[in-house]
Amino acid sequence: MIKNIQYKKLGEICDFISGGTPSKSKNEYWKNGNIPWIKISDFKEKYIKCSDEKITKNGLENSSAKLLKKGTILYTIFASVGKVAILDIEATTNQAIVGVNLKENNLVDKDFLYYFLCSIENNIKKQARGVAQNNINISILKNVCIPILPISSQKNIVKTLKRLEDILENFKQKKY
């Protein structure tokens, strides 16, 4: 940690929302569903705009799944630990994914939080445990410390990182 910079635990500045899976044996939870249900396999880009599977309102109401608002940051905590994406739609998730929303304290820019979470993937993976598949407890995420920089500095960092993403994307498109 750098001296003279304030740090906060993510649990102090963010709310974490666990996902859930409606019973697969109940057809009425899945058939003709229109509520996106996000799985790790839906993490294809920075923004998630659709899901491979959908659940019904009945499935949502009779499971631990929760409807997450557009703009919620998603973080994988099971199997492929540490993947990050942003919901571009309202959706639910399975239990391998946690939704992360900033509390109303304006200390951290949402895009800065996204890039910060991307940057800690390797450190989080080192803390993952499991026999068949690695996983982390949400408390590990809640205890991660994030630097609280002035919002203007956070926005400048985000601007630079977005420019680099654009350069990489242009390079990928030209290469293929």
pLDDT, tens digit (0-9, with 9 covering 90-100), for 78-132:
888 999 999 999 999 999 999 999 998 789 999 999 999 999 988 888 887 776 6
Phi/psi region, residue 144 (left: phi>0; alpha: psi -120 to 50; beta: rest), is: beta
Please state, for a pLDDT cut of 90, what percent of the chain lies above it: 76
Predicted confidence (pLDDT) per residue in 24-46, tens digit: 999 999 999 999 999 999 999 99
- Angstrom distance (rounded) from CA 135 to CA 176: 34
Cα–Cα nearest to 136, from 84, 46, 75, 68: 75
Q: Map out the domains of the chain with their CATH numbers.
A: 6-174 (3.90.220.20)
- Residue 80 has a pLDDT of 87
| Residues 45/89, Cβ–Cβ less than 8 Å | no
| Helix axis angle, 151-175 to 110-119, nearest 10° | 60
Per-residue pLDDT band for 2 (boundaries 50, 70, 90) equals: low
- Mean of the per-residue pLDDT values of the chain: 92
pLDDT for 129: 79
